[in-house]
Amino acid sequence: MMTRGRSSAFPKVVIERDTESEESSSSDDEGEDGPEPETSEEEEGEEKEQEGEGLPERGSGDGKEETLADAKKKGKAPITISLKKVCKVCKKPGHEAGFKGATYIDCPMKPCFLCKMPGHTTMACPHRVASEHGVAPAPHRNTQNPVEYVFERQLIPRTRQCKPAYVIPNQVSCAVIRYHSRRVTCLEFHPRNNNLLLSGDKKGQLGVWDFDKVSEKVVYGTIHSCILNNMRFNPTNDGMIYSSSSDGTISYTDLETGISSSLMNLNPDGWQGPSSWRMLYGMDVNAERGLVLVADTAGLLYLVDTRSNNETGRAVLIHKKGSKVVGLHCNPVQPDLLLSCGNDHFARIWDMRKLEAGGSLYNLAHKRVVNSAYFSPMSGTKILTTAQDNRLRIWDSIFGDMDSPSREIVHSHDFNRHLTPFRAEWDPKDSSETLAVVGCYISENFNGTALHPIDFIDTGTGQLVAEVMDPNITTISPVNKLHPRDDVLASGSSRSLFIWRPKEKSDFVEKKEERKILFCGKAEKKKPGKNVGNESEDDSDCDGFNSKGKRSKFSKKELICKSKRKVKR
DNA sequence: ATTCAATGCATCC
DNA sequence: TGGATGCCCTTGAA
């Protein structure tokens, strides 16, 4: 427990004891001797309570000698501190939230952490156990305006008439690498080289990893000075990438040399304080128009000509003034359609020919911040959004309308300041345009280990089709990307990167509507031993992981982790 | 084993 | 509108 100096300028502290809870708390303390008023547990509660009262500092325990009279004499209002055990979430006594083993116990005073509805906890949430969720199918739209005409005439003919089933492997292997020193923020597969994965991190570094040779990687550290938010390949030269960053620049980088030039800098005068600093988040490349589109934290969209590498036209306010635009996506078949999303709780569809503030074609309303919005990869007729209200939404321009989503899927992907925001992404290979991948925030107790799966969701039904996890990987994977051609999933989890592949081609199974498939790595997770110092991997089937489930060699060498068997829940 | 801190950002007043 | 506030399942280093 930390000891701090006392400041006499602050009110005195009066401790309110609760004998009943004192007894119970000491009995909780794993067979400690008799009631002891200064258990660390109690002090922790005391500290928290005090912070809640806004008292910055206090003495280390002698506050108990202060009395109400003392405090009154000195003209300070006394602060009463409870020694009762309190819930760390709601600060109320009588219950405690947090992990009990590998199971997280919710605070009952708060709405469900998963679906955000009051009256039940995450454990009892119907969305946690149901394999399918979703709103009623959207009503048929009426075709009145010109955009709908464009949709009907140009996009509908490109959609597949019958829906082929995607296939899911039932075993995966996982390659692991760690070269980022801060958490991973974005991933991108090379458009031609099947084994090349690009990764950006919070520090602004860019990693290039040949995951087939595993050990072949390069890290470029000077492209950006802070968060690398998005990157895209130059459609006419796949040796070059564009990247947007919170340092306010777009960099144009040669992947071979790491030499980059800055196409744009929103902070030419450097740091003038937080109010004037601009960051670039959403970015995409419009190949047909030869443009890099990028949007900032003020709600503005900028266009950069890829031929001259200069900004073109004027910045357009596309989201609420002063709000961050986190995502931009150009329609894959209709280059005049642009999708944006941001912190003003909207995803918006734009006509590139008529870009002006307030001139969006559609505004897709969400209950909270929209982390990402993507057109479906082949026809571009559907939109998948990830919002911080723990819902994935599908907006269908053909079979639904743009006034309301055609489906909402409750899924845990909350905001947390320590995590890269979750983004659900389409499977670019799924011609039925239904399969999506997204990381999961809440954990599941899996053989005694709390694991955070990567979920595959059939957006057509809301069904959770598969969950990918490995008992050795206990961290959350908010960043996920499916390979454009191969059956490969890349994940960014904290500072590590993972490549998941089917163990063998023959392992593929047809999609099954009623069955939730779970596949993962080593199924037998051994209980953590007492002798933590033992780094032996003798009893491990998984290179780089020891039997304690600790990642012992991540930073020392690159690893391949083989999955063992399929596990059903 | 436990503690700490990084330092983003939505929301509230 | 802008500054203060406070954060429910983090992560990894000390």
pTM: 0.78
CA angle A314, A316, A317 (to 5 degrees): 150
C5 closest protein residue (CA to C1'): A54
Q: Which residue is nearest to nucleotide B3 (CA to C1')?
A: A1
H/E stretch holding A169: strand A167-169
Secondary structure of residue A170 in the 3-state scheme: coil
- Please state whether strand B lies within 7 Å of residue A341 at its CB atom: no
Contacts 24+ apart (CB under 8 A), A415-420: A415/A369, A415/A388, A416/A441, A418/A183, A419/A183, A419/A476, A419/A478, A420/A183, A420/A184, A420/A185, A420/A186, A420/A202, A420/A478, A420/A479, A420/A492
pLDDT exceeds cutoff 80 at A472: yes
Please tell me which residue lies nearest to nucleotide B2, judged from CA to C1'. A1
Asked if pLDDT for residue A83 goes beyond 90, the answer is no
- Of the ranges A105-119, A203-217, A358-372, A498-512, which one carries the lowest mean pLDDT score? A498-512
Q: How far is the CA of A309 from the C1' of B12 (A)?
A: 42
pLDDT above 80 (res A531): no
CB < 7 Å to strand B — which of 427-446 in chain A? none
For residue A170, say whether its CB is under 7 Å from any atom of strand C: no
How high is the pLDDT of residue A10? Answer: 41
* Lowest model confidence (mean pLDDT) among A225-229, A326-330, A435-439, A545-549: A545-549
CA A160-A234-A293 angle, to 5 degrees, is 80
- Name residues whose C-beta falls within 8 Å of residue A35's C-beta, 6 or more positions apart in sequence: A22, A23, A26
A346 token code pair: 């909207």
The C-alpha angle with vertex A490 and arms to A487 and A492, in degrees rounded to 5, equals: 165
Residues A268, A271, A272, A278: is their CA dihedral positive or negative? positive
Tell whether the model's pLDDT for residue A71 goes beyond 80.
no
Q: In Å, what is the CA distance from A251 to each residue of A226, A233, A292, A338, A358?
A: 12, 12, 11, 22, 29
pLDDT tens-place string over residues A311-331: 998 999 999 998 999 999 999
Q: Is A262 exposed, middle or buried (0-12, 13-18, 19+ CB in 10 A)?
A: middle
Rounded Cα–Cα distance for residues A173 and A187 (Å)? 19
Q: Is the CB of A418 under 7 A from strand B?
A: yes
Alpha-carbon separation of residue A176 from A220, A373, A438, A491 (angstroms): 19, 28, 19, 10
CATH architecture type of domain A171-268+277-524+536-568 = 7 Propeller (2.130)
For chain A, the structural domain boundaries read 171-268+277-524+536-568
- Which string of DSSP letters, residue by residue, matches A192-242? S-TTEEEEEETTS-EEEEETTTSSEEEEE-SS-SS-EEEEEEETTEEEEEE
Name the average pLDDT for chain A. Answer: 75
H or E, element range at A25: helix A19-28
- pLDDT tens digit string along A4-41? 323 333 444 455 544 433 333 333 333 333 333 333 33
